Amino acid sequence: MSGTIIIELYVFVLAGFIGFLVITRVPPLLHTPLMSATNAISAISLVGSLVAAGSDRNSVSTILGVIAVTAATINVVGGFLITDRMLRMFKRDDAPREKKP
What is the C-alpha separation between 42 and 87, in angstroms, rounded? 20
Query: Is 70 exceeded by the pLDDT of residue 98?
Result: no
What is the C-alpha separation between 14 and 17, in angstroms, rounded? 5
Residue 13, pLDDT score: 92
User: Considering the chain, what is the average pLDDT of its residues?
Assistant: 79
pLDDT, one tens digit per residue, over 13-48 is: 998 898 888 878 877 767 667 776 777 777 888 888
Residue 39, pLDDT score: 74
Residue 96, pLDDT score: 61
